[in-house]
Structure 1
């Protein structure tokens, strides 16, 4: 492993001069700085995280708070986490992943220690009990998700309300008059999780605007629940001819359940979904969908956080516009 003494020897300076170049604590000549930077690049030297922390009074760590609660679809959550980690590393930050349901206690534990310089918080609820503490902390934070009242916070996410509306608009334009929303598991709605509630709001508002008949069906993310829901939907009078699915694990089992009951997709039943593109593309019938932009949201959250750490003003709310991709299911 390359040490600071190796860099000093290669650049022809003392180890303390290399340290000053890295920390900026003392001025050095431009020629000396250039030689040190060239040596660092050639040798592949990486400053030790602890040394950086001592030099800058920062830990160079971001805490990513993802409580893995009931009804959370872990594969999609991990896409967000991977995006945050990748973007943070580009800024020479590491990520501390907190997955326990600790609420305010977990946030305070991070804030009261040197564990992390800042926080990104996920699984945001409309009336999240963590919000008063987040507003009062002296450490920057960014929420992936929107509460009912985002004042005094920095929030970024897909515009889930607009996504729900866009799916309904698409089905209405195709002539469908009876729609159903296959929603997240009941526990997600019981917590008033922001993204699920906003899809519901958008779905309902657009159905009302078009004068459509619409029903909402929270559903557990299991094949058995998908089969039972398919039977219940077909028993409705009138049965829906268009579906909006906001429950990624159900896309394949629901499609198979409807097909086993004799329905043709899209001739008898049109499907739309809010889900990752790869999920939509791999469905038995490729599904018209609005992508969940995990990479873009994760990168934007880190970008906002870096600006806040540097004292640069950032917008309170950042909504990413939904983009609907038309596939064979509608």
Structure 2
């Protein structure tokens, strides 16, 4: 195993100079820094993590709290987590994975132990119990999601309110006046999970502004629950001509159920989904959708964390960073069918 002293001899500098190059604690001339970095690369030197942490008071670890819930669509969460891990490595950091079920306990453990230099929290609720601990602590943190009170916090997320509005505008422009929302599982709304609540707010506000009738029904996502939810929607609102789906697990069962009932998409009923592009493109028919930019959210969260850990405090000011939604029109949405008057 290559030692720091061997790197120093190879580069023709002192061991302290190599240490300063690694830590960045002192200014080193460009030529010397390049020589040391060349020796590090040529010899394959890797600083000892424990020694580096003692020397710099940094662990070079980011704690990521990921929700592992049965009522959440795990592939999207994992895509965000993978983006966090790969981007962190580009910055020379590793990721410590924590499960969302630990809640405030995990935040306390990370803060008290110094396990990580910073935290990234997912599955953010409007009144999240973890947030007071973040505000009281000294660990930099970034939220993937928006709580109700964002003062002093740094957040990144898709603009879900604008997402809901975009779905209504697309369907209203096609002449639809009765829209139903097939939502997430009931537990997601009971927890007041931010993304679901904000999408619903955007849908309702824009529907009212456009003179569109809108109903929302939670759905567990199984075949039975999806079939029951859609049946109830058409029983309650026989004139429904469009469905907005924010539940990736329900998409397949919903399209299958519509086929079984003889309702053609989009001739009889249009379907717009909030889901990853991969899900939209693999459906039959291909779905008009607003994409979930999971990779971008994970990457931006790490970039914001690294800014907070940097040397310029002014560059790390709190704030909300929203990603503008993008609706892609595919095969599942079309003009509202003509409603024949009752005889």
Fold shared, TM-score > 0.5 on shorter chain = yes
Q: Residues 5 and 15 of structure 2 are in contact (CA less than 8 Å); yes or no, is this contact kept in structure 1?
A: yes
What is the match of residue 318 of structure 1?
Answer: 321
Residue 201 in structure 1 maps to residue 192 in structure 2: no
- 148-157 or 183-192, larger mean C-alpha shift: 148-157
- 308-317 or 193-202, larger mean C-alpha shift: 308-317
- Distance in 1 between the 2:103 and 2:171 partners? 39
What is the match of residue 328 of structure 1?
Answer: 331
Q: Residues 20 and 26 of structure 2 are in contact (CA less than 8 Å); yes or no, is this contact kept in structure 1?
A: yes
Q: Residues 276 and 293 of structure 1 are in contact (CA less than 8 Å); yes or no, is this contact kept in structure 2?
A: yes
**Alpha carbons of 1:247 and 1:26: their partners in 2 closer, same or farther (altered >3 Å)?**
closer
The 5 Å alignment of 1:103-252 reads: 103-252=103-252
**Alpha carbons of 1:25 and 1:210: their partners in 2 closer, same or farther (altered >3 Å)?**
closer
**Alpha carbons of 1:288 and 1:93: their partners in 2 closer, same or farther (altered >3 Å)?**
same
The 5 Å alignment of 1:92-107 reads: 92-107=92-107
Listed one character per residue, the Cα deviations across residues 3-35 of structure 1 (whole Å, up to 9, x for unaligned) are 434433432445454334323456666544332
- 166-175 or 305-314, larger mean C-alpha shift: 305-314
Question: Unaligned 5+ residue runs, structure 2?
Answer: 334-343
What SS does the aligned partner of 2:226 have? helix
- 158-167 or 205-214, larger mean C-alpha shift: 205-214
Listed one character per residue, the Cα deviations across residues 81-101 of structure 1 (whole Å, up to 9, x for unaligned) are 011111111111111010151
Q: Residues 164 and 200 of structure 1 are in contact (CA less than 8 Å); yes or no, is this contact kept in structure 2?
A: yes
The 5 Å alignment of 1:18-29 reads: 18-24=18-24
Listed one character per residue, the Cα deviations across residues 140-189 of structure 1 (whole Å, up to 9, x for unaligned) are 11111111111121111000011011001100000011100110000000
What SS does the aligned partner of 2:316 have? coil
What is the match of residue 62 of structure 2?
Answer: 62
Question: How big is the shift at 1:46?
Answer: 3.0
Pairs aligned (count): 330
Q: Residues 67 and 77 of structure 2 are in contact (CA less than 8 Å); yes or no, is this contact kept in structure 1?
A: no
Q: What is the root-mean-square deviation of aligned Cα atoms in Å?
A: 1.8
Question: How big is the shift at 1:227?
Answer: 1.9
Q: Residues 163 and 202 of structure 2 are in contact (CA less than 8 Å); yes or no, is this contact kept in structure 1?
A: yes
Question: How big is the shift at 1:113?
Answer: 0.9
Q: Residues 61 and 115 of structure 1 are in contact (CA less than 8 Å); yes or no, is this contact kept in structure 2?
A: yes
Q: Residues 156 and 300 of structure 1 are in contact (CA less than 8 Å); yes or no, is this contact kept in structure 2?
A: yes
- 92-101 or 67-76, larger mean C-alpha shift: 67-76
**Alpha carbons of 1:28 and 1:141: their partners in 2 closer, same or farther (altered >3 Å)?**
closer
Output the TM-score relative to the length of structure 1: 0.94
- Distance in 1 between the 2:72 and 2:106 partners? 19
- Distance in 2 between the 1:100 and 1:124 partners? 10
Question: How big is the shift at 1:315?
Answer: 4.3
- 200-209 or 236-245, larger mean C-alpha shift: 236-245
- Distance in 2 between the 1:237 and 1:134 partners? 45
What is the match of residue 261 of structure 2?
Answer: 261
Output the TM-score relative to the length of structure 2: 0.91
- Distance in 1 between the 2:175 and 2:144 partners? 35
Q: Residues 179 and 215 of structure 2 are in contact (CA less than 8 Å); yes or no, is this contact kept in structure 1?
A: yes
Q: Residues 233 and 239 of structure 1 are in contact (CA less than 8 Å); yes or no, is this contact kept in structure 2?
A: no
What SS does the aligned partner of 1:112 have? helix
Q: Residues 153 and 318 of structure 2 are in contact (CA less than 8 Å); yes or no, is this contact kept in structure 1?
A: no
- Distance in 1 between the 2:89 and 2:266 partners? 44
**Alpha carbons of 1:31 and 1:287: their partners in 2 closer, same or farther (altered >3 Å)?**
closer
